[in-house]
Each structure stands twice: as C-alpha cells, then as structure tokens.
A and B are shown apart, each in its own frame.
Chain A
Amino acid sequence: MQYDKFSSKQRKVAKPAFQNERSFALKNNLESTFVEEVASDDELPEILRPGRWSIGPKVPEPVNIKASLLRRNMPLSRGAVTWPKGSAVPIFDFFRSAPNPKYDRQFNIAVTKFIQNSAFIPLEVLVKVRGPLFIEFWNAHAVDLMSRVSYASRPKGLNSEDLKWFVESLGLLVLPGILNVGLKKPELAMDALLLVDAIDAPALMVKWSVGEPEARVVKQWINDFIVAVTHKVLPVALGAHGWRRRAAEQTLRTLVAHGHRDTIENIAADYEVKGSLAEVLAFNSVEAVETLKMPEIPSSWSCERHPPPRLAASGKKLPTHAIETLVKMILISPADKPISEIEKVRKVCDKKSLANFAWSAFEEWAQSKRKKDTEWIFNSLAYLGDDECARKLTPYIREWPRLGCQPRSIQGLRILSSIGSDIALSQIQAISLKNQFESVQGCARRTMEEIAEARNLTPQQFEDRLVPDLGLSGTGTIKLDFGTRYFTGAVDAQLKPFIVDELGSPVKSLPTPTKSDDKALAKESTKTWAGFCKELKPAARLQLFRLELAMVNSRRWSGDDFKRLLIARPLLQSLVRGLVWGVFQKNGNAPLTFIVNTKGECIDATGQCVKLVITADVGIVHPLMMADSLSSWRELFEKNRQAQPFAQLARKTYRARDDADKNLFGLVGAIVPSMALKGLKAMGWRAEAGDSGMLLSFYRECPSGKASITVEPGVHMEVYEHDGHKEQKLCVDVPSTLDEMEFSELIRGLQTLRK
C-alpha cells in the first residue's frame, strides 16, 4: 500500500478536480513546502546513491597476544565479591562445616537421582547437598536448577535475588554456575554479577554493555572493576572481528572516556600490545561495522507504508532504495551512537520529514504489538526524532510498565536523551519528578543526573536551563498579528494564558478574522496561539511544581543565576513576580526579602531597591522564615491584587510549639481514606512492605530526621481498599530533631490526606 497523506475520502473528492497529487497538494496548500516528486539518483547525496554505501574502511588487523604473555600477566586471583555497604552476609556456617565425604557423596548421588527424576525440587532437599559438594553440585546443574527448585513463597523456581544471595553467601565459589545461568538468562544473573570483581565476569558483562537495556548498569560495573575488565577484554578487543570484538572495543573506549587510559595502556604494555591498542582506540569501530554483513530489512516491514523522508533543498521524496539504505544504516548502528552516515543523511534531509518517518515506523510497531524489531525502531526515533516525537513518546514511556514492559520505558528514556532537545529533556525531567512507577522515575532521575554531570551542573541547575520559551519574546509576550490589528498573548503569575487587544483590554479568545483582517496572518496567529496554549499546559505544571519544591527544599540560586535563569526567562517572568524572594545570610539570620517588579528590579517591602550581588544566595522564602515581614508582604499583595503561583503567603504552617494537644495537630489517631495513602509517595514517603504485600508503615527521610506512620488495618500494595477497608487509622511519629520548616511541611502534607 502506498503511503498517502490524504485519506481515501479526501482523495475521492480531490481527484476529479486535480489530476495529479502534486497539483492537489499545491492547490490545497496542505503541503506548501513539499512536492510529491521523487528525487532522482543524481539529486541524492553521495551516501544514498545506489551501491555507494557499502565500502568498508580499513580496519586494524587482528593481533594475537602471545600465550606466554597471557599466562604471565593474566591475574591468577579469581577475584573478589564487593558487597554494597551494609548488606554483607556471612558465609553460611552450614556450608563451612566439615563434611563427611563418604556420607555426603552417597547422599549427593541419591539427591542427584531424585533431581533427575523430579519436575520440581524442594529447596529443603537441595540444601541437604552439603558443604563443598553443594558448590560442585550447583556449578554443574545451575541452569537446570534455576527453573526447577521450588519452595513455599516461590513455586516457579529461583530468581535473580536468589542468585545474589548465593554470591553474597558463598562468594566466588558459585560463580561458574552463575555464569552458566547468565549465558542463558542474562536478566537473572546480572544482579549477582554486579557484586563480582572477577576475571571471568567481564566476558558476559561486556556483551551486555552493547545494546541491552541493562547497558547503563553494566557500564557502571565496568567502571568499578577496571583492572579485571581490561585484562579480560584487551585480548578480545585486539582479536578476531565480530560482535565480541566490537563489544570489547566499546568497553575500552568507555573506560578511556572515564579517564582510565593510563591503566589500560599499562596493562597493554605488559602484553606488549600498546601500539595495537592505540590503533584500536584511534579507530572508530562504528565505521567498521560497514565491513560486516549488510543487515536485512525485516520482511514484515515496508517503507512504502510510511511518509518518506524528503530532501531539505528541493522537498523531493527519497526514493525507496535510499530509504532502505537509511534503514540499513539504522539497523547496523549501535544503540548509543548512530554511525556517521546517518548524520550526513540528517544534514541533507528535511528534519521534520525524517521525524515523521521514524514516528510512523514506531507507531506501526506499537500498534501491531510486535515484540521483535524493537531495537532498530527505537534507534530510528533516537537518531531521527524531534520535539514532537519526544512529546508523543512520553505517554508510552509512562504506560509501558503497566503492561509489564519496563525495559522499553528505560529505552524510551534513552531515546529522549538522544533526541536531546530542550523539549525532550524536559520530558525526562517531568518523568523524573512524577511517575507512577518508581523504577522508571528513578531511571529518569539518573538520566537527568548523568546529563547534568556531563555538563558540570547539578540536576537542579540543569532543570533551570530546560525552561522553554514557547515562542515568547524577551518581555514574556507573543504578538498575534491580524494585519490591520494585533493582539498580545502572555501568561499570568499562575502561568495561565491570556490575551489583550491593542488597548490592553482583556480578550477571552482570539476573534474570527473579519474582512479587514489579513486572513493568512490571522490564521497563522491563531495556529501559533493554539500551539502555545497546548505546549504551555504541561510546561506550566512542571514549573509550578518545581518552584514550589524549590521553596520547600530551600533551594538557592546565585544572584547571577537568579537574574539569568529566572528573571530573564520569558516564561517565568510573571511567575517570579508573583513570589516573595529572599537573600539568605550565611549566618542563618532572617533573609532580606524582596519581590521583582515589572521592570525586573528587586524591591523590598518598603519599596526600596535591593541590589543583588552575583554571589548572593537567593531563594523563595518559606512563610515560616519571613517572621515579621509576612504581614507586610500580605498587605502589599492584597493592595496590588497580585495573585501567587502557589500558596506561599497563604500557606498553612504548623509549629511544634503550637501543637497544644500534643497530637500533631489531630493527626495522631486521625482517620483517612485508604486511597489517600497513595498520595504519600509523591510527598516523599516510602512504604515498608510486610507479609503478603501488606503495607502497614511508611517512612520519610528528612535531612534532620526520619518520620514514620503506621496505618491500621493496613493497605495492600496493589489494592489499597483491601478487604473492603475504606479507611485507615494513622499513628504518626515525628522526631523532635526535625527543623521548623520540615516539621511544618510534613504536617501540612499529612493534613492533605484527610477527606
């Protein structure tokens, strides 16, 4: 089926009047920029012409490290297990106890027979295989045991947690078995292997560092255990071509990128391959993929079903063979970086048409609920996607975990990160601030941290730089030209859009163009305003949430950043003017409070100008910190009828000393709806899961102490109104160490749980 921009109904109407698609498109002004003509081969860039993209560059020849050097330099130690802090588990005394070889050998044979003849093996039987014999037994049968061991709470076999437990308990002795499991089921072995700094582990881990959803985790592991990894991957990176070599080369490059070049070069010198290593590191292996077999386009996929990319200069469609070449380039590219040819194609093609092409392919894949072909479809979005793709992809990222496709969400975040535009990054930011699924939210947070770190910024400083302008001018307005007249659009302190006419009178919405108006201009302005309002809604929600959080978390900006990133930002100007700010003193005294006027000047409550030095510590002042100035500011805002973006001056505050009944303002013993407890997560509370998924207590770590809540009769982690219990009785414990603001915000948050 040929892709067509117009529906069959539209075509039926259009065809009699306009005989060809080109005149139809032009006449209807639907595709004013593009024509339907297909570009000839001569018009194509060199790389997309038939047969031009298949020439392989000269790749470094494989080098075999001498066996004697390998024997001499390869570490003899089997490695070590590195426990995360606080989770070290002592070796089981049970396994350490001296075995009775004769008895155990016989017993082992009996158990082996039993295992061979049983569909499921109760764990109680397995652990009777005693001492070192258990290790032997495990290493020999690990893969088989994974699916066949059963015990009370886990009837369907062992999982990754069990493997981690084996490593924590028995150390490297069980590593061979775990590596065998990893070969078959990487997702089960990875958690356990992340603890292991052993010479045998990198072979598997390096494989997973390429293209797997877990790549980020594995790369962290690679960076933690540099020496073992280098010893293991160096011979492979210099050896025979293939995916193993590519993965090994990529690992070495990752280590070099993280500043470990010297370590790698020293190890290479021991193997007498320093020169070859330099050649490999200098060589772009991404280019080398061309020497591999050209990938096949999946048979079920056809470029005919998708809007074709177009040349930027002429607007002509790419011919089928050129689109197929582009798809092959995507197919052959590694996940984290496209091959350089794709960038060449991007330069000559219209960006929007490339994005439409990628999105169409993705949408087809998403609708067909296909499980295969994910990687290249996702990569195409990462390489060719634009802001619109980023926006449309975000709901999928949020939804996938609900369908049990969490790794896809993580890949989706990678795509947003690769698109890299302000809009795409703000989507990651939105997910990192609020998402139903903690794992996805955590991953988004880490992605933000990584991007921020790469730019030498804190995540919060990075967020400041992601505030979009949405087409607003430097004064925070947008001119909506109708020809003979014009309107001005802007946002108020709560980031709600409004329009005024030339005289400054408010207008409900843009009027229908009259005869005297320029219809084209009016249509364009109406479209611009509609687009602005659409983009404003999520951006406003994010910024309001972010700045309220900044007030509660005592976020500070330098005077310079405050001017550049807040006062000067078109979208934030009105919002900034609706808040009381403060210059915070190093000695902890009450801050010097001020507001920002329409000229962008800082004014205190008496109307005096406040001069901000670039090093000043500026922040949004919590009402508890305003002391005497709170009433003055309230009066001033009332006098000016100035609305606030969120509750600052009108915020409810709670002081421990005002809690006359000593029941935390009625929270102790308060009855709240069971469903309201779902809101605790967004307030920073974490649940402590008990037996059978029941949640009986929650805790929150504040900088100055840990608060906890117990609920009665308790909620179930999946069904909050478990067993028909629609209400819960709260028992709140707040430590006395909490500072005044933390205490107030904590109580305020809990008060919102009440019906």
Chain B
Amino acid sequence: MKTDRSSAVVDDPATDASVLEALIGESFKVNRSIASHSNASPERLRELAKSPDRLTRRNVALNPQTPKDVLLVLAPTFASEFFLNPVFDLLLMEDPNLLFGLPVTVLKNILKRPDCPESILNWAARYGDKSHQLALVSRTEISKQLLECIANGPHVKPAEVAAGRLMTW
C-alpha cells in the first residue's frame, strides 16, 4: 500500500527533488520511476546508477539530468539508451572527444546499428579513428556526404573502402 502511494508520488512530474530523495530505496519500482524523473538530482542519479536493478540503471542512462561521467560508465551496457538520451547531442557538441571514452567495440557496434543517430555518424566520419570509420563504411545505409568525408580523410583503409563504394553509388 505504501509503495503504491509512493509510486503515485514519483509518477507525478511536479514532485520535488527533495521528496524524490526521501523515497529512494523504497522499492525497485519506485527507484525506476525516480531514475527517469525529470526532477531527480544528479547526485541521486549517480547513486541509482549503481543499483542492482537493470531497469533502474537503464532509466538513469536515459535521463538527461545524469552526469556525463555516469553516462559514460553506463554507455557500454545501455548503448542505445545512451545515444537516445536527449542530452547526448549537446554533450557531443561540447566535447567531440566524448565518444573516445567508450570502449572501441561498443562504439563500433553502435555505428553499425541501423538506428545509430546521425550525430554519431557525423562524429565518426569527422573525428573517428580507423576502426570507427571502418565500422561506418561497412553500414548498408550511409549518406554520400559521409562517404566523401571518409574518402578524403587521413585513414587509408576506410578511405579506400569509401572511395570504392562511391564508385558504385
């Protein structure tokens, strides 16, 4: 009964951060709601990122209030949530080297996904290293502009593959 009441409170978008803070730890269900709440404070989200509950951590990865360093820790596990987070594009604009903090394999997998956001594709074509660009040129769907950008880039192998693909464009 208590949990139901708490759930109702945390589901209210107007609930204050201090109230949310008081409810943390009541149940996984409540924690999940707090993790995705727009008023959750960065400190509490940092705490919730360590939760044993996967869904709670997933919601933290989606929350725009989550601090950058926490997002980078969660990114390998919740790659799609990481780049679906609304703050992602802003962070990338602010720091083009942001994605270098991710493990190469994670980033390569993100780059190969059909739902990979345009901002990451652009980043990889401009600033990515050899392995990122190779992952990018192996995508079935890729724009001509990106291929041209890679073909004129400094990395030999991706440039050659991109130029080869441009020949059959």
Contact = CB atoms under 8 A, between A and B. Distances in A.
B106 to A, nearest CB: 17
Interface stretch (B17-25, B77-85, B154-162): B154-162
B129 interface: yes
Contact of A754 (B151, B154, B160, B164): B154
B168 A642 contact: yes
Nearest to B161: A647
A652 B150 CA distance: 13
Given A652-B156, A652-B159, A644 B167 contact: yes
Interface residues of B, number: 16
Interface string A641-652: 111100101111
Q: For this complex, into which size category does the number of interface residues on chain A fall?
A: 10 to 19
A637 interface: yes
Given A748-B156, A752-B156, A754-B154, A647 B164 contact: yes
Contacts of B155: 754
B156 A650 contact: no
Contact of B130 (A642, A643, A650, A754): A754
Interface string A625-637: 0000000001001
A458 interface: no
B152 to A, nearest CB: 11
Given A754-B154, A755-B129, A755-B130, A650 B160 contact: yes
B158 to A, nearest CB: 10
A751 interface: yes
Contacts of B151: 650
A658 interface: no
B157 A752 contact: yes
Contacts of B164: 643-644, 647, 649-650
B135 interface: no
A188 B37 CA distance: 74
Contacts of B167: 634, 637-638, 641-644, 649-650
Contacts of A652: 156, 159-160
A652 B129 CA distance: 18
Contacts of B72: none
Contacts of B70: none
Interface in A704-755: 748, 751-752, 754-755
B149 interface: no
Given A751-B156, A754-B130, A650 B168 contact: no
Contacts of B156: 652, 748, 751-752
A583 to B, nearest CB: 24
Contacts of B102: none
Contacts of A634: 167
Contacts of A751: 156
B163 interface: yes
A647 B163 contact: yes
B38 to A, nearest CB: 39
A643 B166 CA distance: 10
Contacts of B166: 650
A370 B160 CA distance: 49
Contacts of B161: 647
Interface in A640-668: 641-644, 647, 649-652
Contact of B160 (A638, A647, A755): A647
A641 B168 CA distance: 4
A643 B154 contact: no
Contact of B163 (A641, A650, A754): A650
Interface in A601-644: 634, 637-638, 641-644
Contacts of A637: 167-168
A747 B159 CA distance: 15
Contacts of B130: 752, 754-755
Interface in B95-124: none
Nearest to A641: B168
Contacts of B160: 647, 650-652
A752 B163 CA distance: 16
Nearest to B130: A755
A647 B137 CA distance: 14
Interface string A455-477: 00000000000000000000000
Interface in B127-158: 129-130, 151, 154-157
A91 B157 CA distance: 53
Contacts of A641: 167-169
Nearest to A639: B167
Contacts of A647: 160-161, 163-164
A644 to B, nearest CB: 6
B23 to A, nearest CB: 46
B157 to A, nearest CB: 6
Contact of B168 (A638, A754, A755): A638
Contacts of A649: 164, 167
Contacts of A638: 167-169
A650 B137 CA distance: 14
B4 to A, nearest CB: 48
A97 to B, nearest CB: 60
B32 to A, nearest CB: 38
A649 B165 CA distance: 11
A637 B163 CA distance: 12
A751 B130 CA distance: 11
A751 B158 CA distance: 12
Interface string A404-445: 000000000000000000000000000000000000000000
A493 to B, nearest CB: 10
A649 B164 CA distance: 8
Contacts of A644: 164, 167
Contacts of B129: 755
A181 B161 CA distance: 58
B145 to A, nearest CB: 17
| Centre residue among B157, B160, B161, B166 by max chain A CB count within 10 A | B160
Nearest to A749: B156
A754 B169 CA distance: 28
B1 to A, nearest CB: 50
B134 to A, nearest CB: 11
Contacts of A754: 130, 154-155
Nearest to A494: B164
Contacts of A748: 156
A651 B156 CA distance: 9
A755 B130 CA distance: 6
A652 to B, nearest CB: 5
Interface in B5-54: none
8 contacts: A638-B168, A641-B169, A647-B160, A649-B164, A649-B167, A650-B163, A650-B164, A652-B160
9 closest cross-chain pairs (CB), A and B: A650-B163, A647-B160, A641-B168, A650-B164, A751-B156, A755-B129, A638-B167, A643-B168, A752-B156
Given A641-B169, A751-B156, 14 more contacts: A637-B167, A638-B168, A642-B168, A643-B164, A644-B167, A647-B161, A647-B163, A649-B164, A650-B160, A650-B163, A652-B156, A754-B154, A754-B155, A755-B129
